[in-house]
Chain A
C-alpha cells in the first residue's frame, strides 16, 4: 500500500531469490515435522531396497500353521521353528511386515518410475509447446485438453482393462495419463520466459533453440517441477493402490499395499491388522510426500509460478 512498506517486504523477498542446497538443509533442520517426513521416506526407500536382507521371511511362501496370527505373536513355523511376527500374519500365514516391505517396492517403483517417465515426457512437450507456439503448441495443448477432460483414474482403469495389469503396465499407464500436468506447467512457465531478457541474451550470442530450452529455460522451472513431481508420486502411489484394490492393477501374489487392503477387507471382522497396516503404510508415505512438497513449495516459491498449477 505504501512505498515504505514495499521496501521493507522487498528486502524480505530479496533473500529468497536464490535457494542453495545448504539453505534447504538449514531450513529442514528448523522444521521438525518435515524432517520427520524426510527421515521416514529415506528409511522406507532403504528398507524397500534391502527388504530381502532385513526380514528373515519370504513374502510369497505361505505358512498354513500361522494364518492370521495377530501382531506381536510367536508361532511355530515349518520344522517347529519359533517365528515372531511383529505386525502379525495374513490369511496365508505370511509375515505382514515382510509383505509391507516388499509392497513398498511396488508402490515406490510405480510412483518414482511413472513420475520420471511422465515428468520427462510432459516437461519436454510443454517446453516445446511454449517455446515454439504455433502448430506444435496447438497439437500438444489439444491433446492436453482431451486428457484433462476425462479423469485420469477412469482412463487408467479402462486401459488396464484392455491390456491387463501387472507392474510394467501399471507404470506405463500411469505415466501415460499424468504427463499432461507437467506439460501444462512447463508450457506456462516457458511462455512467461520466452520474451525474457536472459533468453534474448542467449539468442543474441547464437545459442541453439535446444540449448536455450534445456540450458536456460528448464533450470528456471526446476523447483516448481520438483514440487509437482513430489505431489505426483504421492498421487500415483494412491492410484496404484486403488487400481490394485479393484483388481485391475498388480496381480496376486505380487505384494502390493492396495492388494493387501483388498485381501484384508475379507477379514475385516476377524483380523483388523491385515487392513490397518497397509493402509497406514500408504497414508504415512503419501503424507510424508505431501508434507515435503508443501515445504519445498514455501521454501522455493517465487509466488507467481504457482499460478500455473491452480
Chain B
C-alpha cells in the first residue's frame, strides 16, 4: 500500500514496528435497497505511543471502520473485506476465539456515549473487574475488585473505594466516560480506540477527558486511535490525521502539516467551519449542503457536489489517493493546486 510506504519514510521516527495495520478495509451493508458501501479502501497503520486522528462528519464511515476492527458489526447485514493486522494476527480473518482474546485485552475501545455503553444492571465494579475475570482467568474476585478500585483512582474518580459498588446511573456523563476508559485500559492494551469519546459531554468535561486520554497514552505508551468530527481535538492531540468522507479517505498526513496546509478542499472546508480566535470579524463559513446518504453516493469524487473548486471531471472520475508531499496523501484531482494555494 502506498500509504504504508510513505508513512515509513515519514518524518516520524521509526522506533518500532506498527502495532496495528489496516489494509484496504471495505465495509458494506445489505439493505432492502441493495448493497450500500460504508467504508471503501481504507488503509493506515499505527505505532506504539502514536496518536492517529480519524476525522469526519457523521456518515463518513469513521465509526464503521473501527466497528469492523473491533468485531462489532453483525454479518449479515455487514460485509467486511480487507485485512486488519494486530501484530501478526489478522483480526478480520482469524478464528473468533483468537480475536476475542485480543479484543478488549490488546486492542480496546472507548465508546461515544458511555451512559448507554455501560450495563445499567451491573455495578461499575463488576463491569471493570470483569475485564480481569474474562481475560486473566484465575484472577480472584477480590483481586479483580481491588484492581478495579485502583483503575478508578487512575482515571480520577473520587472516593473510588466507596463508589465501586455503585450502578452506572449514579454517575454523571463525564464520570461514566471515565469508567469506560478505566475498562478500556484495564489490561494495558497496545491500542486504544476512542470513538467520539467526548461528543456526549459538556465542553468543560470534554477537555478533562481528552487530557486524561493523553496522559494515559503518555504513561503507558499505547497507541491511540481518536475518532472525532472535531478538527480542534485532532489538532491538539493527534500526531497524524486521516480525513474521511463518504466512506473514503480524502487526505492524510502529519497533523501539524495538514492543519497548516490542507491538501483537500474538504479539509479546508472543515477548518473554515471552526471558530478561531484570530478570525475576529471574519464570517464563519460552513460547508454548503449535507454529507451524502449511503444509498445515494455521488459519482466521481464523493465530495464534488459540495466542493467550491469542483470541475466537470470531478463528477466523472473518482480521484485516487495520491502522494502530494513527504508523508502526505490526498484524493483530489487538484491536490497540488490546493496545497500550493
| A interface list, Cβ under 8 A from B | 1-5, 7-8, 11-12, 15
Q: Are B38 and A4 in contact (CB under 8 A)?
A: yes
For the complex, what is the distance from the CA of A187 to the CA of B32, rounded to whole Å?
35
**From DSSP, what is the main secondary structure of chain A's interface residues?**
helix
Is B299 close to A, CB under 8 A? no
**At the interface with chain A, which of B13-21, B55-63, B121-129, B253-261?**
B55-63
Q: Are A7 and B293 in contact (CB under 8 A)?
A: yes
Q: Which 3 A-B pairs have the closest CB atoms?
A: A2-B63, A3-B58, A8-B29
Tell me the chain B residues, 248-302 only, with Cβ under 8 Å from chain A: 293-295
Chain A residue contacts of B29, Cβ below 8 A: 5, 8
Q: Are A8 and B63 in contact (CB under 8 A)?
A: no
The minimal Cβ–Cβ distance linking A22 to chain B, given in whole angstroms, is 17
| B interface list, Cβ under 8 A from A | 29, 31-33, 36, 38, 58-59, 61, 63-64, 67, 72-73, 77-78, 111, 195, 293-295
Q: Are A4 and B32 in contact (CB under 8 A)?
A: no
Q: Are A1 and B31 in contact (CB under 8 A)?
A: no
Q: Are B63 and A7 in contact (CB under 8 A)?
A: no
For the complex, what is the distance from the CA of A1 to the CA of B63, rounded to whole Å?
9
Chain A residue contacts of B195, Cβ below 8 A: 2
Closest A residue to B113 by beta carbon equals A1
Q: Are A5 and B73 in contact (CB under 8 A)?
A: yes
The minimal Cβ–Cβ distance linking A134 to chain B, given in whole angstroms, is 32
With beta carbons under 8 angstroms apart, the residue of B58, B72, B77, B111 that contacts A8 is B77
Chain B residue contacts of A5, Cβ below 8 A: 29, 64, 67, 73, 78
A8-B29, A12-B31 known; A3 and B36 CB under 8 Å? no
Q: Are A2 and B64 in contact (CB under 8 A)?
A: yes
Q: Are A1 and B295 in contact (CB under 8 A)?
A: no
With beta carbons under 8 angstroms apart, the residue of B32, B33, B67, B77 that contacts A2 is B67
With beta carbons under 8 angstroms apart, the residue of B61, B111, B293, B294 that contacts A1 is B111
Chain B residue contacts of A15, Cβ below 8 A: 32
Chain A residue contacts of B31, Cβ below 8 A: 8, 11-12
Closest A residue to B78 by beta carbon equals A5
Known: A11-B31, A12-B31. 6 other contacts (CB 8 A): A2-B67, A4-B63, A7-B59, A7-B293, A7-B294, A15-B32
For the complex, what is the distance from the CA of A1 to the CA of B109, rounded to whole Å?
13
For the complex, what is the distance from the CA of A12 to the CA of B33, rounded to whole Å?
8
With beta carbons under 8 angstroms apart, the residue of B32, B63, B73, B111 that contacts A3 is B63
Chain A residue contacts of B64, Cβ below 8 A: 2, 4-5
A3-B58, A4-B38 known; A12 and B293 CB under 8 Å? no
Closest A residue to B227 by beta carbon equals A2
The minimal Cβ–Cβ distance linking A14 to chain B, given in whole angstroms, is 9
Chain A residue contacts of B33, Cβ below 8 A: 11
Q: Are B63 and A11 in contact (CB under 8 A)?
A: no
Chain A residue contacts of B72, Cβ below 8 A: 1
For the complex, what is the distance from the CA of A11 to the CA of B35, rounded to whole Å?
12
Chain B residue contacts of A11, Cβ below 8 A: 31-33, 295
For the complex, what is the distance from the CA of A275 to the CA of B252, rounded to whole Å?
78
Chain B residue contacts of A12, Cβ below 8 A: 31-32
A1-B67, A2-B63, A3-B58 known; A8 and B294 CB under 8 Å? yes
Chain B residue contacts of A4, Cβ below 8 A: 38, 58-59, 61, 63-64, 294
Closest A residue to B30 by beta carbon equals A8
Q: Are B36 and A8 in contact (CB under 8 A)?
A: yes
For the complex, what is the distance from the CA of A2 to the CA of B73, rounded to whole Å?
10
Chain A residue contacts of B61, Cβ below 8 A: 4
17 A–B contacts from the bound complex (CB under 8 Å): A1-B63, A1-B72, A3-B58, A4-B38, A4-B59, A4-B63, A5-B29, A5-B64, A5-B73, A7-B59, A7-B294, A8-B31, A8-B36, A8-B77, A11-B32, A11-B295, A15-B32
